[in-house]
Amino acid sequence: MTTRDSQPAAIELVALTKRYGPGAAAVDTIDLHVEGGSYCCLLGPSGCGKSTTLRMIAGHESVTSGDILLAGKNITDLPAAARGTAMMFQSFALFPHLSAVDNVAFSLKMRGVARGERRARAQELLERVAMGHLAERKPGELSGGQQQRVALARALITRPRALLLDEPLSALDPFLRIQMRAELRRWQQELGLTFIHVTHSQEEAMALADRMVVMNHGAIEQVGTPWEIYNRPASEFVARFMGGHNIIDTGEGKVAVRCDRVQILADSSPRDATQASIPIVVTDVEYQGTHVLLGLQQQGKTLTTHATAEFSAMVPEAAFVDAPFNVGQPGVMQWRPEQAHRLAA
């Protein structure tokens, strides 16, 4: 794909708010700048306002207050079809009774484009996503990857400047999901379009995004590169939501230490006084291949039934083989002070 139909457009949200009723706003005064041609993931738990934000950008949901700008132009009150955006939905949402080419041509039909012209344009787009030879097949006769390309061609037919993706991979099995996300990323780079992708999967967002936007209760908790979000979580919420971190109360505030950056020592091992430490008991031992995941409980604290372990340690397999641990074994969790990242109160 060498030619670009349009220049990638930046998207700007200014004090964007959505209220469905008298309660808390679903999206509460958010400000966000998405660079043109970048891959942005909106991430957060169910109900945090991701889809509402995306639907407002798409023009499928009215805005209570605030503005949406595309390439500097205010599109807040434009109808969906006039915005320069296009949506791609969960499991691609292709019409099962229509051929690939008719699926792609569908929105041109809605816009009153004559049959010959719309089929020609749809065929051309299918060629661009290497699906030209399968244009007459119905979705049920296509693989997951081929369906994704048809869905992409269908979204691109209106020549959008930004593509909005609402959980496009969530209905796929885990193996296909990983394949499809690599393909999405490749298409985004080749097309050079702005992508905004909603997901509740931390792993998916980290794999895809140039920038991640972590949302909570209708507000933005943190914006950053996947590296920044994972290594410098701004809050306890982000650290817990991303996972892979121990949240430790130091008495003067909380810190996050990555589970692969703590060391577990047997009680009998000599201590390193330059490191911070907590006495622990091992509560779970889970073999994960490259690592062994240890569940840990601070000594002297009783584990309530069904409680998940208080801390976790990812011990590389070879290190675990050299110094194995059993459930119930006491020890010490230690970490270098520079590994502790202070969390906002």
Of the candidate residues 9, 34, 40, 52, the single one contacting ligand ADP (CB under 6 A): 52
Of the candidate residues 9, 13, 16, 26, the single one contacting ligand ADP (CB under 6 A): 26
- Angle at which helices 144-156 and 174-191 cross, to 10°: 30
Q: Are 246 and 311 in contact (CB under 8 A)?
A: yes
What is the distance between the alpha carbons of residues 204 and 118, in angstroms, rounded to a whole number?
Answer: 34
What is the distance between the alpha carbons of residues 207 and 238, in angstroms, rounded to a whole number?
Answer: 17
The DSSP secondary-structure symbol of 104 reads: H
CB of 241 to ligand ADP, least distance (A): 12
Side chain identity at residue 187, one-letter code? W
CB of 89 to ligand ADP, least distance (A): 13
What is the distance between the alpha carbons of residues 138 and 122, in angstroms, rounded to a whole number?
Answer: 15
Residue closer to ligand ADP, measured from CB, 200 or 291: 200
Tokens read off for 102: 């008719």
**47 makes contact with ligand ADP (CB under 6 A):** yes
**22 makes contact with ligand ADP (CB under 6 A):** no
Of the candidate residues 8, 40, 41, 50, the single one contacting ligand ADP (CB under 6 A): 50
CB of 53 to ligand ADP, least distance (A): 7
Instruction: Select the span of 4-12, 47-55, 267-275, 336-344 touching ligand ADP (CB under 6 A).
Output: 47-55
CB of 215 to ligand ADP, least distance (A): 7
User: CA angle 314-339-208, nearest 5°?
Assistant: 65
Residue closer to ligand ADP, measured from CB, 13 or 281: 13
Q: Are 168 and 197 in contact (CB under 8 A)?
A: yes
- Interface with ligand ADP by CB under 6 A: which residues? 20, 26, 44, 46-52
